[in-house]
A and B are shown apart, each in its own frame.
Chain A
Amino acid sequence: MATVTGTKKVVGLTGNSAIAYAMKQIDPDVCAAYPITPSTAIMEEFSGYYADGQVSTELIAVESEHSAMSACIGASAAGARVMTATSSQGLALMWEMLYVASGLRLPIVMAVVNRALSAPINIHCDHSDSMGARDSGWIQLYSENVQEAYDNLFQAVRIAEDKRVLTPVMVCMDGFITSHAIENLTLIDDAEVKDFIGEHEPAYSLLDTENPITVGAMTLPDAYMDIKHQQSKAIAASKDVVLEVAKEFEQRFGRSYGLMETYRLEDAEVCVVVLSSAAGTTKVAVDELRSKGKKVGLLKPRLYRPFPHEEIMEALKHCKAICVLDRADSMNGFGGPLFTDIRASLYDAPERPVVINRIFGLGGRDYTAEDAIGVYEELFKVVETGKVERLSAYLGEE
């Protein structure tokens, strides 16, 4: 159970406890969820808040993740502010309903604690689960640490419910590495949370029986594509809302967020691109190499869907060589999902950097600062020789 009291501002919490606490502060209308490692503790702790009357949420302990997302969809279409959490197989089981949630433009917020997908079964961190959902029409925010996961959750509510967006948001953090590690974080006061997220004011609700609406009608070729076009435009435009919300968040709470974080990238010759907790590890390697005068940098995307391809191109175009580290394999014989996105973004760069790909950390395989240093060294070799020996490969494996 979380050990947070209202008076403490800086506390040590696991990622899961921080998310549960953030959910308590948000006090959503409806929460429907099903347990799965490593996100289980979120719902357990939230159930504790519920049991003690610290939230007045309607908690639905459903019989599967498919039903969890289905109940979230029903509740959201009924005008409720809705949240859930899951991982891995749970997200996979929701797959069908993810598209329904985004296609119906329902502003559901979900914490995804990243975990590998079976088979073979494995409970540890990688990004196969949320990467599989990257084209489901959900906005995806990735968090490096507990503080970011906590802060992202509040911002997700604002982004999802923004009238220009009306799109569900996933807030991802790394299983065990972040979900189960206790880190210090600065909490926001309950009243400030409430003020920041505001009231949920849906334009339509199934519970408005005087103004009946039909939701989820059968749509034929004359209209389907137009509806999808609207959805596509909305998710593309959500990028601006993500920035607006981040700006307001910074003004209120002092912590700065953007579409991505760059670390010592401005004058870097070589750069690593990586999501979530591995970025923290990589920063250690950057500092060490910088202390030896090596011009290395890091780019950590925060907003992965929609993909801020122009901003990423701007941030990376001066580099000579880049390695994209993917914590998931697309099993396409070409490279991981982040790699193909980053490489495609750089196609329009005036001088295209070399972009290589390494798959790392699958199923919780350790990723250390030494690993990162090895990657930077390989990049320098590419720059020196002008040759790429292996475009895409598993890190540390032949």
Chain B
Amino acid sequence: MATLKELSQIEERFTGGHRLCAGCGIPPIMRLILRAAGEHVVATTATGCLEVGTTIYPYTSWRIPWIHSAFENAAATMSGIESAYNVLKRRGKIAQDREIKFLAIGGDGGTYDIGFQALSGALERGHDMVYVCYDNGAYMNTGIQRSGATPFGSATTTSPAGSVHPGKQQRRKDLTRIVAAHRIPYAAQASPHNWRDLEKKAQKAFQIKGACFLNVISPCPLGWYTKPEDSIEDAKLAVETCYWPLYEIEDGVLKINYKPKEKKPIEEWLKKQGRFKHLFKEENRHIIEELQKEVDRDWETLLSLDGKRLF
């Protein structure tokens, strides 16, 4: 495990000058993950903020080989790249001692929703890759539409805070557990505020052979209606309220990596974000209560599974 000082000395391979918003959670996540990837890494990114914001032709933020092919197929595209590596190495076209890591990245839309099938297929086939989902809770690149990851009650442009339907009416998918159910060797949830934990998980994922998955919460000031300077704090609050628990499932065994000493009420996380503003109206308060119940129940379940073998 590298120290922060050591980490800071590794050459930056996700460069500045990109066009992601100020306070966006994606760049710090990407920088940490690329540092954990080792020297030789190839990446693909699904359509979304990261892709659009880092590669406006003829510029690129990527100092590693990188490809974008479409929205729903990062895992499938990487399946092809990883397979090419295997065969070209076998056929002597790549040096036998050249170890390359493979990184596929998607937003929550590209992972929970439209790219879910391709992800599931790639996990089942067991390609040696790390798939990272940066979950900002909506289709941000296209203007904040709801996704399968959008929190219950959240206002988006396709689940607006109306008088009849006050925000998203459905619960979010528990993608990390769904992914783990593919019996892959490693799946984890992380947050950029806890860089040490994220770094460690990324390193583990790159070390382990087979398909590994990281789900990382990614604050989005634009879509969350939060202050850019608060992003890391907002990510932290998601963890402190147990909305976004930090845990990993390694070889089938679940381990909670962080248990808040004092679990904060979900309200504390919600009230900072404009996307939940309507929930604080009297008639919508019950949604906050429901959300709190859901978070409590999920956290209880997780606690009951801590240290247990899931598969």
Contact = CB atoms under 8 A, between A and B. Distances in A.
A70 B70 contact: yes
Interface in A116-130: none
A62 interface: yes
Nearest to A220: B56
A56 B90 contact: yes
B28 to A, nearest CB: 21
Nearest to A72: B80
A61 interface: yes
29 contacts: A56-B87, A58-B84, A58-B87, A60-B83, A61-B125, A62-B76, A62-B79, A62-B125, A63-B117, A63-B120, A67-B122, A70-B70, A70-B118, A74-B80, A75-B80, A76-B80, A78-B85, A205-B65, A206-B66, A206-B67, A207-B94, A213-B66, A216-B68, A217-B55, A217-B57, A217-B58, A218-B52, A219-B57, A223-B58
Nearest to B120: A63
A73 B66 contact: no
Interface string B96-128: 001010000000000000000110111011000
A74 B58 contact: no
A346 interface: no
Nearest to A75: B80
A299 B81 CA distance: 42
Contacts of A207: 42, 65, 81, 84-85, 88, 94, 100
Given A62-B125, A66-B72, A74-B77, 13 more contacts: A30-B87, A56-B90, A56-B91, A58-B84, A60-B125, A62-B121, A67-B76, A74-B84, A82-B80, A209-B41, A213-B65, A214-B66, A223-B57
A247 B44 CA distance: 40
B284 interface: no
Among B51, B75, B121: residue with most chain A CB under 10 A: B121
B78 interface: yes
B195 interface: no
For chain A, the bracket of interface size reads 35 or more
- Residue picked from A60, A96, A208, most chain B C-beta under 10 Å: A60
Given A76-B80, A96-B70, A220-B57, A67 B118 contact: yes
Contact of B80 (A57, A63, A71, A218): A71
Contacts of A223: 57-58
B63 A212 contact: yes
Contacts of B40: 209
Given A56-B90, A76-B80, A218-B52, A206 B69 contact: no
Interface in B136-159: none
Interface string A212-250: 111111111001000000000000000000000000000
A68 B52 CA distance: 24
Nearest to B118: A67
B305 interface: no
Interface of B: 39-42, 44, 51-52, 55-60, 62-70, 72-73, 75-81, 83-88, 90-91, 93-94, 98, 100, 117-118, 120-122, 124-125
A40 B52 CA distance: 37
B114 to A, nearest CB: 10
Given A63-B121, A207-B100, A220-B56, A70 B76 contact: yes
A220 B56 CA distance: 7
Nearest to B43: A206
A32 B69 CA distance: 16
A336 B188 CA distance: 54
A77 B67 contact: yes
Given A70-B73, A74-B81, A220-B56, A212 B87 contact: no
